[in-house]
Chains A and B, each alone.
Chain A
C-alpha cells in the first residue's frame, strides 16, 4: 500500500500537511504530534521583515468554525531562517515555507533569500493586499495573480505552490492564471472573508472588523472549489478548508486534491493530523486501495 505522493517533484511520505498559520513552525505542536509522521509541515507566513499583526481581539468563534484576523504577525525571514528551518530539519518531513508580502518586491526578497536554504517547497499567500495597487489582494485579479507568480518564479529555486483565495467570482480562472504564470502547484482554499457582530456590546467581534472564516462550516465550499480547480489545471492541487477528520480529507482527495492541509481542526485537537494520517491508511485498507494516487480526482 502506498501513501506517498509526488507534488511537483517533491515526494511526501503521505498526503497530509497543515494549513499555514495554524501550526506556527511546528515547535508548539511537537509536544502533541510526531512531526515526522506528517507528509509536510507548512509554516506560518513569513515576510521580508517582522510584522506586528492586527490589534486584538484577533479571533472569534463562529457556528462550526472560527474567524481570524491575526494580520500575519511573523518574525521576518532572518530569524525564521536562523531558528525555524533548523528546528524543522530535525524531523523527517518536508518543509513548505509560506511567504507573504505587501508588494511584489517583498515577496521576491523572501523567495530569493530562501533560494539557498534547505527547504522543500514555497507556498505563496496571494490573499495579502497589494499596497501599491490600492490594497486589492494579488489573488483577486487574474492578471495580478499571474504577474506575481511570474515574478516569484524568477527567484525561486524550490517548486512554487500558489495559494488561492476563495473570495473571487471564478476560482478556476485564478488557478489557470497562476498556472500560466508558471506555478508548480496550487493550494486552496484560503479563508473566506466574513464579519461577526457582538450583539451585546454592539460592535465587531474582531478589532479588524472583518476576518477569514475557516473550519468545518466552509468544508463543502472548499470541496466544490477544489473540484473546479482540479478539473481546470494540470498542476497538482493541495486541498484545504475545514478538514477535521480522515473522511473530510478523503472527500477532498476524491474531488481532485493530490494532498490535503489541516487547519482550524488543529485548534480543536492538536493531535488531529495523526488521526487523519491513520484514518486515510485505514480507509485504503478497508477498500483495498493500493496507491493513494488511485483516489485523486476519481469522482467526476
Chain B
C-alpha cells in the first residue's frame, strides 16, 4: 500500500564545477526509475530547515543506481550550502524521482533544440544523452566563462553557447545564439529562468513549434498535496478544478501552450 518513502541516499562524490555550482553523485533507489527532466526532493540534516529542496536530475546511472545532482548554492547559511559541504559516504534524505520528465519520444525523426539557462542547464545533459532525434542542437546560456558541463554536452550533440558577458560563444542569451547561428528546429525542450522560458515559449508559438518547458516555483510538499507551486494553465486543471496546474506533480515539464508564464 505505502510503497514510497523518504530514503537515506549516500553521497558517492562531490565536486565544485564553477563559482557556486556543485556536482554531487548520489547512491539512491530513485536512480532506478528516474527519467530526464524529473527532480528529487533533497532534505538537509538541519532541524531548523524542514522543507525539501527540489533539485532537477542532471545524469542518471541506472546500472549503478546513481544520480548526478548539479545545483547552485543559493547563499550563505542556506540548505544548498549545507549540501555542498557533504562528503563521500555522508547520508542525505531524499524522495524521488518526482514529477514528469521531458517526453523524449516526441523528438523521433525531428530536428530538436535542447535549451538550458543558468541552473536550468543541468537537466539538459541527461536529456541530451537519452534523446534520439534527427538533429540534436544543444543551446545553453551562462552568465560568464564558467561554462560548467560544456565537455559533456560536446559529446552528446551540436553545442551552441551564449554568455551574458560575451566571454564564450554568442554574447547575450540562448535566443541570441539561435539567431546568430541561423539555427532552426521542429521541437524544443527547455529549462531555465522564467524570462528565458517566456521568450522561448513565444518564439515556439510564433513559429508553430512543439515546445516543452520545465518550470520551477517554491514548493513545500513536492508531491502534489500542498498546492504551493502552481502555475496558470490554459485548461481547467483536473485536481483543483480551476486554472492552476501543480508544477511538482503535473509538471515540472509542460507543453508550452498548456501554461501561461
Interchain CA distance A51-B249 in the complex, whole Å: 19
- Chain A residues 57-76 with CB under 8 Å of chain B are 57-61, 63-66, 68, 70, 73-76
- A59: contacting residue among B4, B49, B219, CB under 8 A: B219
Q: Are B240 and A267 in contact (CB under 8 A)?
A: no
How many inter-chain residue pairs (CB < 8 Å) link A and B? 125
Q: Are A270 and B244 in contact (CB under 8 A)?
A: no
Q: Are B2 and A33 in contact (CB under 8 A)?
A: yes
Q: Are B1 and A52 in contact (CB under 8 A)?
A: no
Kindly state whether residue A29 has any CB partner on chain B within 8 Å: yes
Q: Are B226 and A29 in contact (CB under 8 A)?
A: no
* Closest chain A residue, CB of each to CB of B242: A52
Distance between B123 CB and nearest chain A CB, rounded to angstroms: 21
- Chain A residues 8-64 with CB under 8 Å of chain B are 21-24, 28-34, 36, 44, 50-53, 56-61, 63-64
Interchain CA distance A14-B189 in the complex, whole Å: 49
Kindly state whether residue A269 has any CB partner on chain B within 8 Å: yes
Q: Chain B, 233-244, contact with A by CB distance < 8 Å: what is the 0/1 string?
A: 000000111111
Residues of the B chain whose Cβ atoms lie less than 8 Å from the Cβ of A271: 2, 5-6
Interchain CA distance A68-B51 in the complex, whole Å: 12
Q: Are B6 and A270 in contact (CB under 8 A)?
A: yes
Kindly state whether residue B62 has any CB partner on chain A within 8 Å: no
A73/B220 contact (C-beta < 8 A), A23-B225, A28-B225 known: no
Interchain CA distance A61-B228 in the complex, whole Å: 12
* Closest chain B residue, CB of each to CB of A36: B1
Kindly state whether residue A165 has any CB partner on chain B within 8 Å: no
Q: Are A270 and B228 in contact (CB under 8 A)?
A: no
Interchain CA distance A200-B76 in the complex, whole Å: 12
Kindly state whether residue B105 has any CB partner on chain A within 8 Å: no
Kindly state whether residue B217 has any CB partner on chain A within 8 Å: yes
* Closest chain A residue, CB of each to CB of B217: A56
Kindly state whether residue B47 has any CB partner on chain A within 8 Å: yes
Q: Chain A, 197-216, contact with B by CB distance < 8 Å: what is the 0/1 string?
A: 00010000000000000011
Q: Tally chain B residues at the interface, Cβ within 8 Å.
A: 37
Kindly state whether residue A264 has any CB partner on chain B within 8 Å: yes
Q: Tally chain A residues at the interface, Cβ within 8 Å.
A: 46
Residues of the A chain whose Cβ atoms lie less than 8 Å from the Cβ of B47: 64, 216
Residues of the A chain whose Cβ atoms lie less than 8 Å from the Cβ of B218: 56-60
- B226: contacting residue among A30, A51, A68, A215, CB under 8 A: A68
- Chain B residues 184-215 with CB under 8 Å of chain A are none
- A267: contacting residue among B48, B52, B244, CB under 8 A: B52
Residues of the B chain whose Cβ atoms lie less than 8 Å from the Cβ of A32: 2, 4-5, 223
- A61: contacting residue among B51, B217, B224, B243, CB under 8 A: B51
Q: Are A56 and B229 in contact (CB under 8 A)?
A: yes
Interchain CA distance A79-B237 in the complex, whole Å: 12
Kindly state whether residue A266 has any CB partner on chain B within 8 Å: yes
Interchain CA distance A200-B230 in the complex, whole Å: 24
Distance between A270 CB and nearest chain B CB, rounded to angstroms: 6
Could you tell me which B residues sit within 8 Å of A by CB distance? Answer: 1-6, 43, 47-52, 75, 95, 217-231, 239-244, 249
29 residue pairs from A and B, CB less than 8 Å apart = A23-B225, A24-B224, A24-B225, A28-B224, A30-B1, A44-B227, A51-B242, A53-B244, A56-B217, A56-B218, A56-B229, A57-B228, A59-B51, A59-B218, A61-B50, A63-B48, A73-B227, A73-B230, A73-B240, A75-B239, A75-B242, A266-B221, A267-B51, A267-B52, A268-B51, A268-B52, A270-B6, A270-B223, A271-B5
